[in-house]
Amino acid sequence: MAFSYACVSLPISICTQPLLKRSQTTLFSSWRAYGPNYGIISAKKSLPFSLRIMSMASDLSSEAVVPRSVPVRVAHELLQAGHRYLDVRTVDEFNAGRPVGAINIPYMFKVGSGMSKNPNFLEEVSSVFGKDDEIIVGCQSGKRSLMAATELSSAGFTGVTDIAGGYSAWVQNGLPMEQ
């Protein structure tokens, strides 16, 4: 079995657990199409937050499957084709505006000035979605959704797609939303 390492764009290089060969193709083809930071956690704005994200990501099993990530316009097409939108932002973020038809199950909760992972995330998702449902997962900027989609894929959800750029990119592209 061939392995590759996924690295994060920080002032220093930090590499996560080895990715399975299946993930390698998806991840690196995305890099070629959208640039080196596509679908990867970036620390350009908030280094402490990104380090916490990396810590949580490294807690995932080394057997974690990195799901495919698509731009918001592709995600919108998938939504129109019958996929369901799982919004993993906080309740306050969700209530401020969301893609039409989105279902909110927070991946993380705001705790003081930080974030804490929802300990019941998998159970809550399992109560709404089946393991074979086609799910597109979005958050505000694409970081939480990638972690959530990876966790769902590792838990056996087979139709999971991450939305690169999140709700911010959704709004910037003028895609349908509701409040």
Catalogue the active-site residues.
139
CA R_g for the chain: 15
H-type alpha helices, the chain? 21-34, 47-59, 72-80, 91-96, 121-128, 143-154, 166-172
Q: For 126, left (φ over 0), alpha (ψ -120 to 50), or beta?
A: alpha
